[in-house]
């Protein structure tokens, strides 16, 4: 049995007993029921994921998956492809936004080279698991083979397994790949059935002419490759990206190991759509970090049935929104675990 098949088989429903106990405790805490809103429902979800009625978040990791895209040659990004490699080096030096926010949240950062179109030197914090040197141009044919699609997902699963060895209570997804909003938009359009123009945004800040070209490129790619909207691996292979596949794998690996996974922005959510097709139950293990200003993100979240924790006009990627949302998840769990009950505090409850 392949690692992917084994992982899919390992994903189980949330723990109903832990959910029941967590919900019961929420009603006993010194507050009106529901007064902490999403923080209450988050804590109950994490209880169901972990199987612990009073879950505690101590070990945090952000897994940033990096890859290049052949479609970048079509002028869909404001930045040249070599920026992918340069930004990976910036991550490793600790100088990127995700490094700052991860340090703030006391989370470790692991960078995975799934498909950077350059050789990277070994470095602490970098896992080189290259499936290929960037995907093929999706306007000329499929992004990758089905075998490569499966391998890219397995890279993400293995990344979670490696982090488990160092202790892991929560994991956040991140991405790096110049041009990757193009395959992400293609995935969202295919899976949600929305028109390409409705789910395609400006990415790195392209102008109106570039945006029109980008929409045309995606429409051409979908028309040429004809992905089946119900087949996650096929969608990934035909119009996706290596790092998007790895993000899907991170989500599946987390779900199989009952670890809550905080899904970052638009790119990560396109990976979540792939994960949701491969294992519908994996959706219950996802926490949507934020609502990106990238067009199409809300449509992707709605399709998954996820409500974002934050709305901060973010569109950087890297896992930045997810790193911030880890703090909310941890706060929710602390409230459930550490607040006094009416009985222990000697406070009268509601009549």
Contacts of 338 (CB under 8 A, 6+ apart): none
In 192-273, DSSP assigns E strands to 261-263
64, 101, 38: which is closest to 287 by C-alpha? 38
* 100 φ, ψ (degrees, to nearest 5): -65, -50
215, 221, 226, 187: which is closest to 304 by C-alpha? 187
Radius of gyration of the chain measured on its C-alpha atoms: 20
| CA 156/CA 282 separation, integer angstroms | 14
Tokens of 60: 């945090």
| CA 9/CA 187 separation, integer angstroms | 24
- Residue 270 Rama label (left phi>0; alpha psi -120 to 50; beta): alpha
Q: Which residues are catalytic?
A: 318
Burial 107-131 (b: 16+ CB within 10 A, else e): bbbbbbbbbbbeebeeeeebbebbb
């Amino acid at each position: 049995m392949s690692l992917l098949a084994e992982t899919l088989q390992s994903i189980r429903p949330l723990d109903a007993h832990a959910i029941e106990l967590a919900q019961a405790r929420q009603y006993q805490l010194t507050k009106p029921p529901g007064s902490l809103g999403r923080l209450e429902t988050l804590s109950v979800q994490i209880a169901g994921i972990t199987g612990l009625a009073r879950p505690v978040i101590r070990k945090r990791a952000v897994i940033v998956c990096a890859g290049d895209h052949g479609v970048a040659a079509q002028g869909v990004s404001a930045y040249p492809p070599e920026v992918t490699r340069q930004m990976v080096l910036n991550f490793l030096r600790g100088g990127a936004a995700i490094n700052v926010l991860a340090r703030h949240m006391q989370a470790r950062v692991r960078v995975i080279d799934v498909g950077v179109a350059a050789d990277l030197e070994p470095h602490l914090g970098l896992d080189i698991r290259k499936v290929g040197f960037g995907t093929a141009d999706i306007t000329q044919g499929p992004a990758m083979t089905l075998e490569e699609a499966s391998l890219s997902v397995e890279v993400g699963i293995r990344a979670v397994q490696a982090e488990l060895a160092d202790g892991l209570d929560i994991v956040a997804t991140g991405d790096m790949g110049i041009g990757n909003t193009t395959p992400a938009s293609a995935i969202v359009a295919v899976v949600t059935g929305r028109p390409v123009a409705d789910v395609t945004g400006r990415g790195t800040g392209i102008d109106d002419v570039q945006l029109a070209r980008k929409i045309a490129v995606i429409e051409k790619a979908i028309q040429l490759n004809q992905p089946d909207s119900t087949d996650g691996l096929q969608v990934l292979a035909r119009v996706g990206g290596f790092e998007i596949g790895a993000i899907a794998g991170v989500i599946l690996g987390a779900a199989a190991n009952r670890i809550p996974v905080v899904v970052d922005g638009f790119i990560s959510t396109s990976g979540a759509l792939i994960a949701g097709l491969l294992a519908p139950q994996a959706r219950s293990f996802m926490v949507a970090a934020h609502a990106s200003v990238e067009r199409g993100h809300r449509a992707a979240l709605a399709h998954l049935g996820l409500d974002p924790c934050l709305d901060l006009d973010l569109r950087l990627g890297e896992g930045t929104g997810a790193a911030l949302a880890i703090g909310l998840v941890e706060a929710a769990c602390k409230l459930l675990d550490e607040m006094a009950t009416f009985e222990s505090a000697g406070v009268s409850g509601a009549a």
